[in-house]
Structures are given as structure tokens and as C-alpha cells.
Structure 1
Amino acid sequence: MTTKSHLPLSSVEITFLGTASAQPSSTRNHSSLALQLAGDVWLFDCGEGTQKQLQNTGVKRGKIEKIFITHTHGDHIFGVVPLMASMLNGSGGMAEGAEDSRSKVDLQQPQLEIYGPYGTRAYIRNNIIHTHTLLGAPYVVHELRFSSDPLGDPEPSKLAHAESPNGCNILQKDGVWSDFFDNGVVSVSAAPILHSVPCVGYVVQEAPVPGKIDPKVYIPDLKRTNTPMSALGRLQRGENVELSDGSVLHGPKKTPGRKLVILGDTYDPSAIIPLAMEPDILIHEATNAHLPGIDSSTKDADTIDSVEERTKSRGHSTPQMAGKFAKAIKAKNLVLNHFSSRYSGEQSEGAMTIMNAIGKLAADEFGDDVTCALDFMIVKVDLKRD
């Protein structure tokens, strides 16, 4: 779609595929979530085992169009190449120089698009090259480059099999990457957020949506000026219609589109604030919490301050930090994610008591209810019309 005037997406929902930090557990997989925009699927992060997790959901692997990587730590990227091999009909190839009828791919076909910070392209490229993987369809990697990143591309002439040479290096402007993707219906922006390695937070913004049209308001003027009734469709899309007498009919007032803020690992995401204000949903990590009397692994010598300091020193956040940030950007809803492996994702009474306590720590700062993500949890994001 090439115009920003559009009917709303029929549905927007998030399926959490992995909610663990660092190490997976029997109840939490490595980081990944699937954003379903009507029939399209975008993944955010792709930790080890993501393709296995997809098999336990209603998310269709073949509908994945884009993958957005927040940073190149293994628990966020180790699942990318295995998923690509399955999605793109990959198979084990032969040693370089050997003949193989499968080695030709039409790079003009629709491509799987992957976005991530510097290093994403080299990681994927080298995995495919050194495993001799042959893909049956093309892919392209675009990198969000920090101002401190090297220029150019390591080994630019050495492309992996099925890798498009058209991958872009997207440079920051005013410290962020504004609208680096925009198809007229949904745009994506990003900003650097502080972690132990270069890390990115993403903002997904639906374009403004025209309000519901009342034909009775417009039909008398259309009939009076012999204007075809098809003009109602243009009005519904938010377009103005000029009548034969020189008067102009205006479509219904537009409703702000849905806005999602999806953060990677971080102890300070403040650089994303200008892009992230008033989202419908904020997904924020909450790796560690101080839970005396609730979590048996809580150390006697620990305090709220000592746990926060230790968590920040490792590049992560506590529930309170997430709640404060959600309040600062006036988020409508907060979902906590990326939990230490000691916080089980099972539905037992003990595990849920701990997760409810973690949610309350964030809610006390946020001022509203907070959701703690579990693997396979689905969160729907509804369009709020005036």
C-alpha cells in the first residue's frame, strides 16, 4: 500500500515465543516474540529454539516477512539461521566449488528482510557459508548503524548463498533511526538503548486510521451534485472529495493508529523516549527482582537497592525500573518480559505467586496493572476509536 490513508489493520496481536533471559528453562525459551499484523508476521529477536516454539502456536512460519534483532547476544539471535533454513527451504550443500543443482536462487523474488545492529549481517552470513547451507529463497540484512560503528561491510564481496547484495546500512539521524521502514500502513523506528553491548529498541506505529463513515451525512450532497456514490469509498479512506459546485466534503476524523514499543535488554532506554511516548503497549524486560519472603532464592543480605545495582551492572532492569519507564512515557499497558531462569513460567501456585509479586513491583511504580509474559501468551492490541 502506498498511501497513508487506509482502513485499519484487521488485527494486531503479539505471541510471546520465548520469555527467558540468558538460559532457557523447561518453561521459558530464549527471547522471541511474533507480532501479527493482520496476515503478516514480524519476529522480534530469535533466540535458540524459536522455530520449535512456533510449532506450538497458531503463528504460521510461512507468513514471517521480517525479523528485527535487538542485539547480537546469543539468547536473542542463535535461532535465526535454523529458522531461515526451515523457512527458505534450506538444505545442506556441498563443499565450495562442487556442482549442485540447487545453488541458484532468484534474488528478484520477495525476500525475507532482517534488521539488526552491526554484526547481524556477518553473523548470519558466516553461519550460512560455513555450514554450506543452501537456501531456496533469498534474504536481505539491513543494519542499524551506530555512529561509532565501522564504515562499510566486512568482506563485502563474500555473500552467503541466497543473500541479496542490497542490504542497507541505515545511519542514525539525531541519534535515532526514524521511520526506517514505512509502507504507508505501518512504520518502524528505533533508538539505541543501554545494555552491556550495542542494543536497539523498536517502535511500531500504525498510520492514522479514518473514523467510521456515516453515509447519511454525505449522500444528500453527492446526489445534489450528481457525484458518483463511489466517492463514499474515498471519504472512508480519509480523502477529501471536491464537488461540482466547488464545495469540499471531508472524510471522518482520523483516529491515531496503534503504537507498540518493543525493547531489547536494557538498564536505561531513555534515548527512545522521543519516539516512544504514549504507546498502546510497552514490552520491557524485568530480569531480576528482590522478593524476600516470596522467592526462596532471595539472599538475606540483599536489598532493593543492591539487587537493582547488580541488575544494572549486568545491563538489565528490575520490575520497578520497568514500571517507572512505563509511567514516564505514559504507556497504556505494560508487559514485563525476559525473566531470570529462576522465575518459572509454569502455572503452579508457587510460580504464579512469584510472577504476581514481580508484576506488583512494577505496578506500584507504573500506577496500573501490569502483565508478566509467559511463553505462548497472546496479547491483542485493539484500536481505540473516539
Structure 2
Amino acid sequence: MPPTRTNAMSTIALQNISITFLGTASAQPSSSRNHSALALTLGGRGDVWLFDCGEATQHQVQKSDVKMGKIKKVFITHTHGDHMFGIGPLLAGCLNGMGGTVEGIEDKRLRAEAIQELDPIEIYGPIGTRAYIRSVLLYTHTRLEGRYVVHELRFPKDPPHGDFTSLPPHRCELEGRNILQNFDPQSSSGHGVWNDIHVDDLVSVSAAPILHSVACVGYVVNEAPLPEKMNPSDYVPHIKRNKAPMSHLQTLQRGEDITLEDGTVLKGVGKRPGRKIAILGDTYDPSPIIPLSQGADLLVHEATNAYLPGVDPHAHEEDTEEGVEKRTKSRGHSTPQMAGRFAKLIRARRLALNHFSARYKGDDDTNEESKSIMGAIRELAEKEFGGEVVCARDLMTINVPRVK
């Protein structure tokens, strides 16, 4: 089955693209950090895509400027609970008619028909995602009105077919794809990737495995190539001389060539690369995603633990930088320095750190302890990266501007 393609929005260009961090904690949440989740908002058409959905994500959405009714897709990086315990409540919130999607229709039959016309929420994740969601919805007797579909990214060791569960589909679940990896014989990493798991006229998503303590996925969102700015004076005299319609300018702006009556060929406006955002899950080594993430405008990378002598009041006296990194990697995670090195390796334009240990507070800059600790973590990453680094806080929004 081919990847999802959406053409309804082909005439709407993406404007602002932003990321809102709904949860920036690692395994244990704190009073200032919720479990992992972030929302990618595609300006222009307003769609929201979630990446991971930890416990209380629905609550965090309500605290933010993210609109529940705009959530169209959810991408799960791995099946650890702190990254997906919130998916059941989120579906219950999104698929029971909330957000004004079917309000005002009292007739049950007409209401059901209206719901069936809505696009399903699409969920992507490793094997086990579909089984978990079925279990949650079944054993909590959750009633949904809308529809959803789960697409699973299968690793080579996974069975290529089947649902990995004996539970029947929920009545609102549509049949999803089991997506197999593509293998490049020229790749030196030995890992396959999942190319173009979603494609539409404005944006596409690909994925690759990243190394953690369990099967884990990193996602790369690519905006479609953008037309360069048109100079009408390059075209208008030729169009007028041939008494051709001025609507040709729209065709040329789309990048299409036009041959006029006198044989003049007007070349369509060239295109430049769109924005690229790489969103990684938990990892101690994300190298398999290097080919997809090269030149990312924004890299979101975890930084669970850091060596902060004299800054972190909870640091152990016997710790060393090497010891902290070794211990962090043994648990499947990264330090700020590791994130910075990877950002430099892929030539990212900007690095956002998240997934922090509960010992690192996520309060705003009025909390001096939090400000000091997060400033030290940022400096560790900056020293390795050499570029701009942001330490994410819950409900922080980062815009991803176009490169001029």
C-alpha cells in the first residue's frame, strides 16, 4: 500500500512552521517537566502533528496554544511508556466530536455520516503500537466517534505482516500499513530507512532507526522545494508580445516551462530546498539517521544526563565527564556533548535539547537554580556544536524560519 498522500491543500503554501514542547522530561516527570511529547504545527493549513504522546499530553495541549481539533497525526518514536501512555486519552479527546468537528448535528444518522467524512487520525510507530492502542481502548471501554489508523514501521527482525496482537480491531480503527525498511546497498551503516512514510504536496516524512535500549525511530520532516522569487520583468514582455494570457505567470511560478507561439521558451521559476526538521527519540547513537537528517534546519535531540560539577547540587563527587557519559550511554541515552557532536556531524542549523532528567528543573529564567543548570547544559552542547542551542522547557515554542 503506498504512503498517504494529501492533495486537498495543494494550493496553500506552508507559512510558519513551529514546534511546541508539550513534555521535556525523561522517564520520571517533575513539577516543571511533563512526559515526552512535542507538537509540530504546519502554518498555512494549521495541521498539528504530535511526536510522542507521554502521560498527560492531552492536559499539556490544553495548557498550550495547540488546538486539539487540529491534531492529524501522531508519530511514536518507541514504545516505552513515558513516550506513549497518553495516546489513549488523546484519542478519546480528539475522536468524540470535540473541536466543533460535528457539533450542531442532532440526528444520529447524519452525525455518523459527518464523522465518516472526516479524515482519520494517523498514528505511526514501531511494532506494538497497534496492539497497545487496541488494548487500551478495549479494556477501558473507550467509546470513539471518529476514526483512526495505525501504521507500523517494521524492523528487519519483526514479522513483516500481521497485527502482533490477537485482539480484534476497534470498531473505529481502519486498516493500517506495515511499512518495511528500504535498504541502500551503498549505505555503510548497514541500517535501512523508511522513506516517505507520508507524502503530500507540501511536506513529507521519512524515518530511520536510532539506537536505544529498545527499537526506536527518528523522524525527518521535509518541506517540499520552494519556488524562488519571480522577477515578472523577465517574462511579461514575451507574454505581451505573443498576446498570451498573463495567467502564464502562475504556471511559471509553479516551476513549469511554457512555449509561446513565436517559439520562445520561458523557463519556470527555479526551486530551493524547503525546511528540514529532524526529531529524534531516545538514543545513545543516532548515526543510522545521518543520511536523512543532513543539513537539518532544526535538530531535536535528547540530553538526559550531564556532568555539571559545582552547578548541579545533586551531582556525585566521584563523577567524571567520561563516567557520566558511559553511564548515560549504558542506559540508552545521550549527554549534551553527544547531542552537540551529532548536530555538528549533520551540519544542523540549530539544536534543541530535550528529554532531561527530573533532577534538571524546567522552570523559567526567574528560577536561578534552573537558569544556572540549563545554561551550563546549553554551554556543553554549544562547545561541541559551535551553533545555536536551545534547552527546551515545557510549553516552549520554537519557530523554524525559512533560510533566506
- Could you say whether these structures have the same fold, taking a TM-score greater than 0.5 normalized by the shorter chain as the test? yes
2:389 corresponding residue in structure 1: 370
Q: CA deviation at 1:7?
A: 6.6
CA contact (8 A) 1:326 1:366 kept: yes
Of 11, 14, 17 in structure 1, the residue corresponding to residue 22 of structure 2 is 17
Q: CA deviation at 1:23?
A: 0.9
* Superposed counterparts of 1:329-344, under 5 Å: 329-344=346-361
CA contact (8 A) 1:266 1:316 kept: yes
1:94 corresponding residue in structure 2: none
Q: Aligned with 1:83: secondary structure?
A: helix
Q: CA deviation at 1:11?
A: 1.1
CA contact (8 A) 2:134 2:167 kept: no
What amino acid is the match of 1:331? A
2:67 corresponding residue in structure 1: 60
RMSD of aligned Cα (Å): 2.1
CA contact (8 A) 1:13 1:379 kept: yes
Q: CA deviation at 1:5?
A: 8.8
Q: CA deviation at 1:70?
A: 0.2
Query: In 1, distance between residues paired with 2:164 and 2:179?
Result: 16
Structure 2 residue 207 is matched with structure 1 residue 197? no
What amino acid is the match of 1:372? C
Change (3 A) 1:173 1:156: farther
Change (3 A) 1:3 1:249: farther
2:399 corresponding residue in structure 1: 380
Q: CA deviation at 1:254?
A: 1.2
* Superposed counterparts of 1:76-95, under 5 Å: 76-89=83-96
Structure 2 residue 181 is matched with structure 1 residue 172? yes
Change (3 A) 1:134 1:213: same
Query: In 1, distance between residues paired with 2:11 and 2:255?
Result: 7
1:185 corresponding residue in structure 2: 202
Q: CA deviation at 1:247?
A: 2.1
Q: Aligned with 1:55: secondary structure?
A: helix
1:98 corresponding residue in structure 2: none
Change (3 A) 1:128 1:27: same
Q: CA deviation at 1:154?
A: 2.9
Deviation string for 1:155-187 (max 9, x for gaps)? 4671113011x2000000111101111112101
Q: Aligned with 1:345: secondary structure?
A: coil
2:158 corresponding residue in structure 1: 149
Structure 2 residue 338 is matched with structure 1 residue 321? yes
Query: In 1, distance between residues paired with 2:296 and 2:50?
Result: 19
Query: In 1, distance between residues paired with 2:155 and 2:11?
Result: 33
Query: In 1, distance between residues paired with 2:353 and 2:268?
Result: 39
Q: Aligned with 1:133: secondary structure?
A: coil
What amino acid is the match of 2:264? S
1:111 corresponding residue in structure 2: 120
2:170 corresponding residue in structure 1: 160
Of 378, 381, 388 in structure 2, the residue corresponding to residue 359 of structure 1 is 378
Q: CA deviation at 1:258?
A: 0.1
What amino acid is the match of 2:77? T
1:285 corresponding residue in structure 2: 302
Query: In 2, distance between residues paired with 1:209 and 1:7?
Result: 12
CA contact (8 A) 1:5 1:237 kept: no
Q: Aligned with 1:158: secondary structure?
A: coil
Q: CA deviation at 1:253?
A: 2.4
Query: In 2, distance between residues paired with 1:140 and 1:251?
Result: 39
Which shifted more, 246-255 or 204-213? 246-255
CA contact (8 A) 1:133 1:161 kept: no
CA contact (8 A) 1:222 1:229 kept: yes
Q: Aligned with 2:63: secondary structure?
A: coil
2:274 corresponding residue in structure 1: 257
Q: Aligned with 1:202: secondary structure?
A: strand
CA contact (8 A) 1:141 1:168 kept: yes
What amino acid is the match of 1:78? F
1:48 corresponding residue in structure 2: 55
Deviation string for 1:305-327 (max 9, x for gaps)? 10001000100000000000000
Structure 2 residue 46 is matched with structure 1 residue 35? no
Change (3 A) 1:150 1:107: farther
1:302 corresponding residue in structure 2: 319
What amino acid is the match of 1:196? S
Which shifted more, 178-187 or 200-209? 178-187
Count the aligned residue pairs. Answer: 375
Query: In 1, distance between residues paired with 2:394 and 2:216?
Result: 23
CA contact (8 A) 1:195 1:315 kept: yes
User: For structure 2, which runs of at least 5 residues remain unmatched after alignment?
Assistant: 1-5, 99-107, 184-191
What amino acid is the match of 1:59? V
User: For structure 1, which runs of at least 5 residues remain unmatched after alignment?
Assistant: 92-100
Which shifted more, 369-378 or 264-273? 369-378
Q: CA deviation at 1:251?
A: 2.6
Query: In 2, distance between residues paired with 1:230 and 1:168?
Result: 41
Of 135, 138, 143 in structure 2, the residue corresponding to residue 134 of structure 1 is 143
Query: In 1, distance between residues paired with 2:118 and 2:72?
Result: 13
What amino acid is the match of 1:141? V
1:95 corresponding residue in structure 2: none
Query: In 1, distance between residues paired with 2:165 and 2:279?
Result: 32
1:228 corresponding residue in structure 2: 245
